[in-house]
Amino acid sequence: MDKKLSPFNVTSLVFGFTFLYLPIVLLVIYSFNASRLVTVWAGFSTHWYGELLRNQQLLDAAWVTLRVAFLTACFATVLGTLAAITLTRYGRFLGRTMFSGMIYAPLVMPDVITGLSLLLLFVAVNFDRGFWTITLAHITFTMCFVCVVVQSRLVTFDRSLEEAALDLGCPPFKTFFVITLPIILPAVVSGWMLAFTLSLDDLVIASFTTGPGATTLPMRIYSQVRLGVTPEINAVCTILIGIVTVVVIAASVITKRQEVERQKAERLAAAG
Amino acid sequence: MGAKAKGRWLVVAIPYLWLLALFLVPFLIVFKISLSQDAIAQPPYFPTFDLAEGWAVFKENFSELSFENYGYVLSWDNEFIEAYVSSLVIAGISTFLLLLVGYPMAYAMARAPKSIRPTLLMLVILPFWTSFLIRVYAWIGILSPEGLLNQLLFALGLIDNPLQILATDTAVYIGIVYSYLPFMILPLYSTLEKMDETLLEAAADLGCPPLAAFWKITWPLSLPGVFAGCLLCFIPAVGEFVIPDLLGGSDTLMIGKVLWTEFSVNRSWTVSSAVAVLLLLVLVVPIVLYQNVQQRELEGR
């Protein structure tokens, strides 16, 4: 059934992917440049990676970023999943329109508005700004992304499985953990990962909601980038790209394997 | 209330209250501050929402509200209106360019052999997972006067003097198109992939040339994806701050950048709040449209 791509389609794919990947590839190549000048190639060297390990400020920022992202992803996954259940299962309830509005609005809201409004909230309630304010802000905007991801899985969910469990006397809470959660797990996991990377990536909201003592990696990179391009920053970026690539590929392999297993189990169940 | 109803109630209440406290209330505060005078809204800023002091104080605060800041932002001798307009223009042009670049890619992906589609999809999503800041930063090295693009053009003998691309609006367009491309491709791909190809075969059997078939069948059927993709790119592009700051020049005016400057350099919280409220008003129509598209997409399945 597979047809060959027309030359036009091949061309647009080649150009498109070159456009998407060339800048990243160049950045990685130049992180191994021996020269301090970013644009002149002076031979291969891992000098800048060594520099990086001695840069305490960058390491501290990376540590803050990872902790924020981890906490954010965990809380946002729980809140986002609850919100997704609410939106797909609860039909009409008082304030539903407002609830779905509050879920979809942060997805597209410009970061500057979200950041400014959260900062003003933290100031108004006199909350010390720093690590925790960044985390709260990140949970708030990432839970909406988690919700959309989980929701798209829940709408295609076969509810008869849950009903069967309930009919057989399984309490609702247990039904959720035994039946529902395992089935929507791939979506929950990708929601977690999405929240994690969105938090790692965020510059604007973190800059607004931070206080003394909490600088995230994007904030540190940003302040250095404005002073000029350096091979050291290229090296940080390369490491980040490497980590993300490995994690994403691993995750997709795992979900694919799970999917295959699930289909196999379903076929067996149908045959049996 | 039984245990079951209580559990049900909790599932709604937790995310609902969270969003009320950390999404809606902050907006009300922004709105409130945008209506205050600078003296009381400048840091150190005292909470005006002190409920402990009771309703009377709240009412008193309420009577002090003024629209002065809006008058200031909307007066002609300020750069704000210009910044709003230029943000909308830049976001509009970028969205159009995104459609031009993204549509052929999404189309080719949807027509690719089924076996390689997941890989192609993965290749589109992968850059989205890498830091947005890094991707914008990568372009600085390419576009700068002594950058790789100029070196290449020079080596090919196409130019004698380096082109000034960095610090112009062109660089901002390149940056936005580059960073937002996955947001455009994914909704387009999902509508094009769902399309029933027998319609095209029928058209071909009836003697319709491929280009006309595209225009009369594929394009109209892909409109929901076009619409979703354009909104998904246009709305955040209007408020974009990092890209114009890093790639744009001093004369690139975008409202996100202006808001940030007003807030962090001029330290006027009232004016930046008013700018934010007005930016939101500009975006209300696209956001509501987006929400409807999203709702239909999820419920229509």
Q: Does B242 contact A204 at a Cβ distance shorter than 8 Å?
A: yes
pLDDT, one tens digit per residue, over A148-184 is 889 988 888 888 888 898 899 888 888 888 888 988 8
**Residue B104, domain member (yes or no):** yes
Mean pLDDT of B185-192: 92
The three-point CA angle A48-B138-B83 to 5° equals 135
In this structure, which amino acid lies at residue A59? L
The whole-model pTM stands at 0.85
What would the two tokens of residue A77 be?
């996954």
Q: Is the Cβ pair B126, A245 closer than 8 Å?
A: yes
The answer to whether residue B227 sits within a structural domain is yes
pLDDT digit string, tens, across residues A37-76: 666 777 788 888 888 888 888 889 989 999 999 999 999 9
Confidence category of residue B126, pLDDT binned at 50, 70, 90: confident
In this prediction, residue B52 has a pLDDT band, given cuts at 50, 70 and 90, of low
With contact defined as beta carbons under 8 Å apart, do B188 and B102 qualify? yes
Cβ separation A2–B114 shorter than 8 A: yes
Tell me if B55 is assigned to some domain: no
Query: Strand ranges (DSSP E) for A39-112?
Result: none
Chain B interface test: which of A15, A121, A170 (most B C-beta within 10 Å): A121
Say if the Cβ atoms of A110 and B139 lie within 8 Å: no
DSSP labels, B188-209: HHHHHHHS-THHHHHHHHTT--
Query: Cα separation of B158 and B170, whole Å?
Result: 19
**Over chain A, what is the mean pLDDT?**
86
DSSP lists the bridge partners of residue A33 as A44
Asked if omega into B44 is within 30° of 0 (cis), the reply is: yes
Q: How many CB atoms lie within 10 A of CB B199?
A: 14
Report the percentage of chain B scoring pLDDT > 70. Answer: 87
Residue A173 and residue B7: Cβ atoms within 8 Å? Answer: yes
Residue A239 confidence class, pLDDT cut points 50, 70, 90: confident
Give dist(CA B189, CA B78) in Å, integer.
Answer: 43
Flag whether B68 is in a domain: no
* Residues with Cβ within 8 Å of residue B174, at least 6 apart in sequence: B139, B143, B165, B247
Instruction: Write down the ipTM of this complex.
Output: 0.85
Please, what is the end-to-end C-alpha distance for chain B in angstroms?
34
Torsion of CA B27, B33, B34, B36, to 10 degrees: 160
Containing structural domain, residue B222: 78-300
Q: Which chain B residues touch A16 with a CB distance below 8 Å?
A: 101, 104-105, 108, 181
d(CA A173, CA B8): 10
User: Sign (positive/negative) of CA torsion A107, A109, A112, A113?
Assistant: negative
pLDDT of residue A203: 92
The reported pLDDT for the residue numbered B265 is: 84
What are the backbone dihedrals phi and psi of residue A172, each rounded to the nearest 5 degrees, phi first?
Answer: -55, -40
Number of domains in chain B: 1
Task: For residue A272, give both structure tokens.
Answer: 């049996």
All structural domains of chain A = 57-155+191-228 (1.10.3720.10)
Q: Which of B11, B10, B6 is nearest to A82 (CA)?
A: B11
For residue B190, give the CATH number of its domain: 1.10.3720.10
3-state DSSP call for residue A37?
A: coil
A30, A143, A151 member nearest B298 (Cβ):
A151
Average pLDDT of the segment spanning A18-36? 86
